[in-house]
Structure 1
C-alpha cells in the first residue's frame, strides 16, 4: 500500500514544509487539487461533500498545480505529486501537454496526472468550452498528451481537436501516469479503458465497495482490448487510518490511500497552524505507515 498526504486550501507558505515532512515521514505521494475560479452566481452542486454546497471554496487559496508542483519538487527528492484532479476538458490539450511534461521533467518523473471533467458547469461557461462534449474532449486530450509526452512528432485529427504535426521538448524519460477521477459509470469505464488508474473522490463511504466492484467489472471487460498493465487505485476511506483497515483495502485491490487530517469542506479560512499539521501527518506515519 502507498500513502498520499492531502492538504489544500491552506496558507501557501505551508506547502513546502509539509511536503518535506511528508517525504521524511514515509508518505509516497502528495495530492494537489485543482480549482480555476469561484463564480459569484452558480447553480452547480458538488457531488462529493454531504450537502452538495460549494461555499467552502470561496476565498480559499488555490494554487495552480503546474506552478505548485515544481516548487515542491525542488524541496523534495522522492515524493510523487498527484493532481486531484486537473479539469482537462476546459484546457487546451497542447498547452496541458506542455505544462505536464515540463512539470514531470522538473520533478524527475514524479508527476502523476489525475484528470477529470469538473463538476462545475461554470468552469466551462467562463472559459468558453462546450459542456455537452466534455467526455470526448477528455478522451482526445489524453491521446494528445500521451502522444506529445512520448517525444517525436504527433499529428491528431479528431472530432474535437485538430493538431498538425508538432513535437515538444523536453519530455520526461518515463511515461506520465494518467489516472481518471469520477464516480459515474462513464468515468469508471474511461479509467478501465484509457487510464493507468482510478481516483476516488470521497463521498458516502457506503458507495466505495460498489464503485470498486464496478471498476473491476469494467476492467475485466476492457482486458481484451489492452495488454496487462499496472493499474493504480487511489481511494479515500476511514479504513486507511488503521493498520487492519489498510489490509482490508488491499484485499479489495486498492493500491493507494489518500489521507488528510482536517475537514476540507468547512467554510471560512483554515486556521490550523503549521505545527499542528506537521504533528498530525507525523503521528499517522508512526501509527500506520510504519506498521504496514
Structure 2
C-alpha cells in the first residue's frame, strides 16, 4: 500500500480536534467521577449505626476509598487480559470495570476495621481515563478495530452503543417566575403562578456532591402564598408567613416593613414600586394567616412545622 493510501486510511488525529469538543465535556465529567466523584459520593453517605443492647455496643458501618478498575476479561487468566470495546460489541457484553470499595467497621470509638469488597461492574466510557483506547492514535485505533476518528464519550452495554444524555436543569440558586396550568391543580385556591428556585448544596470540605432541592412559592387567589418543598417523594405546602417567622425571632411589623420596602444602591430602605398598596395588602394577608393559627413566636412556628410534617408523614 502506498504512503498516500495509508494517509487516507489513517488521517492525522489533529484533523478531528474540533469534533473532540463535542464529547469533551462527557469525557471530563466521567473522569471526574472516576477520580473524585465516587469518593465524594461515599463521603456524603451517612454511616449506618447498629446498637446491640446485649453488649451495649454500637457498630458503625461506612464506605470509603472507592476504586474503579479498567475493563478486564474476568474468565480468562491470561497475560493480555484487557477487554476492548470491539470485543464487547461482538460478544454482546458490556464494557465495564470492577468497582472496589472499603467497608469500614467501627465498634464504639475503637479503631476502624477496613475490608475491601467488590461492588460489581460499572460501565466505562470510551476514551475516558479508564478506557484502553485513551491516548491511542488513529493507527492504534484501527488495529483495535475502531474507527480511526473514534471520539468516545459513550458506553457499550450488551453490545450496543449508548449515550448518556445530559439533562438541562434550571440555573442553580436563581429564582425564576413561572406560569403553568398544573399549579392550579395543587389545591383549591391556587393560581397558575409561582416562583421556582433550585437550591444547590454549597461547597464545603465534605459536602460537594452538587445535590439540589427545588422549592416553589405558589401564589394564591386570596393574595397569600404557599411554600412547597419535596421530602421523600411528597410535596409539603406551608404558609409562607409561618416560614418567615420560623427563620428568626421577630415581630409582625418588621416583617411587614421588609416586605413593603426596597433597597437602593446605597443599601437604604425606602418605599418604591414594591411598596405599593397591592403588596401591602398581600403582606397583611400573609401575617393574618399566622395569627389565625395562634402562632406568635419563632418557637411556635417551628413547632407547628414539625407537627405538620409528622402528621403528614403518618398519613402517607
TM-score by length of 1: 0.25
Ranked by relative contact order (alpha carbons within 8 Å, sequence separation 6 or more), the top structure is 1
Q: Which has the higher helix share?
A: 1
Q: Which has the higher strand share?
A: 2
